[in-house]
Structure 1
Amino acid sequence: MYMNGAFMKELYLAGGPYYGLQEVFSRVKGVAQVTAGFANCSSPNPSKEDIYSGRVEGRECIRIVYNPKKIDIVSLLALFFTIINPYTDGIQGKAVGPQYRSGVYYTSHEDTMQISYYLLFLQNRGVSRKMTDAAIVFNEFEGEGRKPPKVRTEMKGLENFYEAPEEEQHYLRKHPDAYTPINIPLLEKLGSIGPRVE
């Protein structure tokens, strides 16, 4: 796909409330556009109420359009797996439900090898330090000294994506006190993301 005369790629990421993910990735250099929505839904054009009630299966998700000359998929995945918990099935911080299950959804088969490699790396990286409330890394598991549990993040081809309503787009900019399990101020401090956009 081309945008403003440049070749762009896209990637779809799910992991907890989409507005936290949208805020983080919209502040990454090389990312041109981030849209909140629902991925791999069992019915077309679902409302948020359809998803939350369980009438329609789907994942809260973001669509990232990025310039591969400025940032690569591995860098995007590294940031993603720093801020979500891949070891849970539908739990991200205080956000609980099947719509919050973590997933990486691709539209190009050329991306599958890198995504598979990253998931394999997560599963086999060995013992990790114990998670604390102050940690930037939310994908640590409880139980220092034990083998990590199975990675639950799903990897699938994108079947469909429906944009969330306009009032849900960039929700954290409109409602900065809304809950997100992501420590955005710490990401700012470490330089992982750019400054807040008003």
Structure 2
Amino acid sequence: MLKQWIFTGLLGISLSACAQHGNDKVPKDMNNIPNNIKTETATFGGGCFWCTEAQLQQLQGVLKVESGFSGGTVPNPSYEAVCTGETGHAEVVQVTYDPSKLTYAELLQAFWTSHDPTQLNRQGNDVGTQYRSVIFYHNEEQHKEAEFYKKKLQESGAYTDPIVTEIAPFTKFYKAEDYHQNYYANNGSQPYCMFVIRPKLEKFKKVFKEHLKQQ
């Protein structure tokens, strides 16, 4: 918990859940973005995309989260192909958000909170380059912010090990198969959801409890 609050202090910002258990559910507006809202896009890889999706879609200002693949050389890859680790792709989430309610810097905070950025090419028992920690920036402003906050986070001493998050230009996003979308919301009773995703989500919700969507 201390790591998250150290990073919050570094940013100097204030931010303006999804299983079918208790009151957790996918926010109703997740797939209905009004045409009059100006949106921006962010792309992150933080291990298994099911985990990252379940966390980031809870935040105020996040309008849509899609699970997919990016950073590799194989066009239109399948999940099975990416799992081999031979496509070069990482499991990522593509986030559509309202910059008037949520800044890119705030999303970076949430991204680094959502996983362990010191683990190289893995998250827990999920091992391989497809599970690497990575930020795919969409413009130079995102690039500068990602590099700046990565450096500040490392200098803060929040982590004793080096932060290995890759920062690379965005090229192409390939949406994963339909059964991967809103995976935790639709499969909350599965063992992976119960014992891996749910603890991460609950920890995330405690850190950002004042900044979650109204359920």
Smaller-chain TM-score bracket: 0.7 to 0.9
Distance 1:8 1:70 in 2: 10
Q: Pick closer, same or farther for the CA change 1:192–1:166 going to 2, 3 Å.
A: farther
Give percent identity, aligned residues only.
25
Distance 1:123 1:188 in 2: 24
Q: Pick closer, same or farther for the CA change 1:102–1:192 going to 2, 3 Å.
A: farther
Verify the 8 A CA contact 2:59 2:213 in the aligned structure 1: no
Q: Pick closer, same or farther for the CA change 1:79–1:192 going to 2, 3 Å.
A: farther
Q: Deviations over 1:77-125 (max 9, x none)?
A: 1111112111111121222111000001111112111111111012211
TM-score by length of 2: 0.76
Structure 1 unmatched runs, 5+: 129-139, 141-147
Distance 1:124 1:174 in 2: 39
TM-score by length of 1: 0.82
Q: Secondary structure at the match of 2:77?
A: coil
Distance 1:107 1:5 in 2: 22
Verify the 8 A CA contact 1:32 1:66 in the aligned structure 2: yes
| Other-structure match for 2:202 | 185
Distance 2:72 2:80 in 1: 13
Verify the 8 A CA contact 1:40 1:158 in the aligned structure 2: yes
Q: Deviations over 1:5-56 (max 9, x none)?
A: 1111100010111011111111110011100000112110000111111331
Distance 1:95 1:193 in 2: 29
1:150 aligns with 2:181: no
Verify the 8 A CA contact 1:41 1:161 in the aligned structure 2: no
1:100 aligns with 2:117: no
Distance 1:36 1:3 in 2: 21
Q: Pick closer, same or farther for the CA change 1:156–1:3 going to 2, 3 Å.
A: farther
| Other-structure match for 2:77 | 46
Aligned length: 177
| Other-structure match for 1:172 | 184
Distance 2:211 2:45 in 1: 18
Q: Pick closer, same or farther for the CA change 1:54–1:118 going to 2, 3 Å.
A: same
Q: Residues 81-160 of structure 1 correspond to what in structure 2 (within 5 A)? A: 81-126=112-157, 128=158, 140=159, 148-160=160-172
Distance 2:185 2:68 in 1: 16
- The list of structure 1 runs, each at least 4 consecutive aligned residues, that deviate by more than 3 angstroms after superposition, is 179-182, 192-197
Q: Find the partner of 1:27 among 58, 64, 74.
A: 58
- Deviation of 1:192 after TM superposition, in Å, equals 5.7
Distance 2:175 2:156 in 1: 35
Q: Pick closer, same or farther for the CA change 1:111–1:55 going to 2, 3 Å.
A: closer
Report the aligned-residue RMSD. 2.1
1:161 aligns with 2:153: no
Pick which of 84-93 and 157-166 moved more.
84-93
- Deviation of 1:195 after TM superposition, in Å, equals 6.6
Pick which of 185-194 and 76-85 moved more.
185-194
